[in-house]
Amino acid sequence: MDLLRFITAGSVDDGKSTLIGRLLYDSKNILIDQMEALEKSTKNRADGSVDLALLTDGLRAEREQGITIDVAYRYFTTPKRKFIIADAPGHVQYTRNMITGASNANLIIVLIDARLGVVEQTRRHSIIASLLKIPHVVVAINKMDLVEYSQDVFNNIVIDYAEVARQLGLKDVTYIPISALNGDNIVDRSSNIDWYDGKPLLEFLEDVQTDSDINLTDARFQVQLVIRPQTEELHDYRGYAGKILSGVYKKGDAVKVLPAGIFTTISKLEVGGEEVDEVFAPQAAVIQLSDDIDISRGDSIVKADDSPTIANEIEVLLCWLDEKPLQAGNKYYIQHNSRLVRSVVRSIEYKLDVNSLQQQQVEGQVKLNEVVRATIKTSSPLVYDSYADINVNGSAVLIDETSNSTVAAVLFQ
Amino acid sequence: MSQYHLDYLGELESESIHIFREIAAQFEKPALLFSGGKDSITLVHLARKAFAPGKIPFPLVHIDTGHNFPEALEFRDWLAKEVGATLIVRKVEDTIKQRNLTEPRGKFASRNWLQTYTLLDTIEEFKFDACIGGARRDEEKARAKERIFSVRDEFGQWNPKLQRPELWNIYNGRIQKGENVRVFPISNWTELDIWNYIRKENIGLPSIYFSHDRQVIEHEGQLVAASEFVQLDETDVILTKKVRYRTVGDMTCTAAVESNASTLDEVISEIISTKISERGETRIDDKVTEAAMEDRKKNGYF
């Protein structure tokens, strides 16, 4: 059984909470006491049914203010897969939350209200999906019951969205007509929508092929920690612990340590204390090398003939996540996986309108939820790939030196 | 399917090990908060794997309410010795005396929320900058929104509105003096994932997780061990039942479930078919108010 992480994008009005509640409920992941709590808080509904949206109800602080503060994570399992849902609020001021939730997702469900079709919000969510290169997109056209399950309505929305997908370069897009409220095409194929011959949503989520989402071709590894037990029996032991970001490493492989550029070979590989012949992404491993080299946290080990970019002046997309605005010339820490160095935002070329993808001139500061193209300079070189090529080695965050907050998501270009 | 493929337990394990290594690399004085329950036993197992062949580079800290199951304490001592970790025990009893705190009263007087005082004192005493806990996001809705690296102020308080965005697998553990971080490496595991992993890895557990005879009283449909920590009324009837524990907390606030399951396979098949959530079935303290966990977290609880 494997794991699928997905994000649901949409607002309460699109029926997002109802959809998640429906997935949890219909896949029998809601238990009696949770149902009781639900029934207790369901206001006198005329038909006596429970409000599934309340299953995703959050903190008291949020209920009091009628807002959603943050990304919530939900879990459910079917006999085929374990699912992790990043449930992110969808309004414009929450771009930050959506980026956070989307950063680990293999798939995004873009919810469209069948009565409204493709709207500005749909476009924004799709742009974020394309920026973050989420491999699979499901367009769930919801509230089909309110348009009399009309195939024409569905087809027109598909035509509109296909144009958005084409502009954004979204490749794997699947359209499913649903009614989250009534459960149409969620778990079972709906008899109300007999013209649709695709899979219902849950079945699609169970079956979607995610094997190729992980890059197994280009090997990337960054040292998190040097393990040196320095005990009597292990006094010479020196292992480089880290996660295999991408690709496969084998015992005996010729490798080079970057940014220093020193060549050596892999003498031993371990996973969880057990020796193995090969390791692959996303395993957490320990690599031992045949030569004694000065290696520390944040250094990269790649195949001898491989060449990620090594640079200290880097073109990036910055998604600004902090209330405190960015100003060109400000210094920040940049954390690229486990490598932490100082950096300065040199110049800001343009702002990307997340509703239209248009490039706009930046006037003054860069504010929360804005996405800009910029050049940063780092105090020592980073070993990276473009986000488009190897996303796990092409992403970083900026950290405010004084508040320690994570202030920006960085996508290397 | 490719030969290079991790199943969901492999992926969760890898994520947790990665988090453990980030903690060891980013902090000067981390500590693993050990309760004796299955989640913290799993944490210790993952920590051992993360730093093998070296030892776990931080102590296990147990905040002892004095209301523990003796079987859990025995297991705690055994495990610390087995993995070669330092065990630090600080007692709520001592905090109550030193700080002249008021003992909670009532039938199931629970010291659960008093633990926060002892925890904060212990953090202060040892200057811990990161405390590793076994909380899971599937447990409860306040947990569902908490980060894996959760920054707390000098009062240990969680502020849900001021959480750092946590993107990809990048963990920002930078803190100001006086702040500390609570880290939850098994955030993305569910109860069933933990059980399946325990089975896969053959991880030892205290005996109370399996069916055994126990003297209990029945209270509002829940079975509570008849111990010296529970005040018995005249109307209470002590029964001997075959039970197991689904979670291990204090004897005063953890309920048992009737069960004949004496092996991991049997326990797992019962959990798969259960209709009640872990907290709902076994935690007496969570039912007090709907926002109980949110409130406790804001006050410095795990």
Q: Collapsing DSSP states into helix, strand and coil, what is residue B36?
A: coil
Residue A275, min C-alpha distance to chain B (Å): 11
CA nearest B169 in A: which residue? A337
Gap between the Cα atoms of A127 and A278, Å rounded: 38
Q: What percent of chain A has pLDDT over 70?
A: 88
Report the residue count for chain A: 413
The CATH number given to whatever domain includes residue A169 is 3.40.50.300
B277 to chain A, any CB pair closer than 8 A? The answer is yes
Residue B289 is predicted with a pLDDT of 47
Residue B93, min C-alpha distance to chain A (Å): 32
pLDDT range class, residue B183, cuts 50, 70, 90: very high
- CB B168 within 8 Å of CB A103: yes
B175 to chain A, any CB pair closer than 8 A? The answer is yes
Q: Which of B6, B8, B48 sits opposite A82 (nearest CB)?
A: B8
- CB B261 within 8 Å of CB B246: no
Q: Homologous superfamily of B8-193+291-298 in CATH?
A: HUPs (3.40.50.620)
Residue A48 has pLDDT above 60, yes or no: no
Hey, which residues does B216 pair with through a beta bridge?
A: B225, B239
Spell out which residues of chain B touch residue A392, defining contact as CB-CB under 8 Å: 168-169
Q: Are residues A370 and A392 in the same domain?
A: yes
Q: What percent of chain B has pLDDT over 90?
A: 44
Residue A230 has pLDDT above 90, yes or no: no
Q: Are residues A247 and A122 in the same domain?
A: no
Q: Where are the domains of chain B?
A: 8-193+291-298, 205-287
The alpha-helical segments, DSSP class H, found in B69-220 are: 70-83, 92-99, 115-126, 191-201
H or E element at residue A317: strand A309-320
Provide the 8-state DSSP code for A192.
Answer: G
Residue A252, min C-alpha distance to chain B (Å): 18
Residue A228 is predicted with a pLDDT of 93
B2 to chain A, any CB pair closer than 8 A? The answer is yes
Q: What percent of chain A has pLDDT over 90?
A: 65
Closest to A300 (Cα-Cα) out of A361, A353, A224 = A224
Q: Are residues A36 and A122 in the same domain?
A: yes
Contact B174/A409, CB-based, under 8 Å?
A: no
58-117 in chain B: CB under 8 A from chain A: none
Contact B11/A3, CB-based, under 8 Å?
A: yes
Gap between the Cα atoms of A228 and A288, Å rounded: 11
H or E element at residue B280: helix B278-282
Gap between the Cα atoms of B180 and B157, Å rounded: 10
Copy the structure tokens of residue A412. 């290397």
Q: Are residues A157 and A50 in the same domain?
A: yes
pLDDT range class, residue B300, cuts 50, 70, 90: low
Q: Are residues A231 and A354 in the same domain?
A: no
CA nearest A400 in B: which residue? B174
The CATH number given to whatever domain includes residue A276 is 2.40.30.10
Write down which residue in A247, A272, A303 finishes a domain.
A303
Residue A118 has pLDDT above 70, yes or no: yes
B232 to chain A, any CB pair closer than 8 A? The answer is no
H or E element at residue A35: helix A32-41
Q: Are residues A233 and A164 in the same domain?
A: no
Domain count of the fold of chain A: 3
Q: Are residues A283 and A235 in the same domain?
A: yes
Q: Are residues A73 and A187 in the same domain?
A: yes
Gap between the Cα atoms of A336 and A216, Å rounded: 20
Q: Lowest-pLDDT range, A32-41, A225-234, B70-79? A: A32-41
Copy the structure tokens of residue A299. 């250094």
- CB B284 within 8 Å of CB B254: yes
The interface predicted TM-score of the complex, written ipTM, equals 0.93
Residue A34, min C-alpha distance to chain B (Å): 7
Copy the structure tokens of residue B48. 């051992």
Gap between the Cα atoms of B118 and B297, Å rounded: 15
Closest to A111 (Cα-Cα) out of A170, A52, A53, A161 = A161
Domain that holds residue A121: 2-213
Residue at A407: amino acid letter: V
Gap between the Cα atoms of A126 and B234, Å rounded: 65
Copy the structure tokens of residue A315. 């073109």
Write down which residue in A213, A244, A271 finishes a domain.
A213
Write down which residue in A303, A328, A355 finishes a domain.
A303
Q: Are residues A180 and A283 in the same domain?
A: no
Q: Are residues A289 and A316 in the same domain?
A: no
Q: Are residues A297 and A192 in the same domain?
A: no
Digit-coded pLDDT (tens) for A302-338? 999 999 999 999 999 999 999 999 978 889 999 999 9
Gap between the Cα atoms of B240 and B250, Å rounded: 20
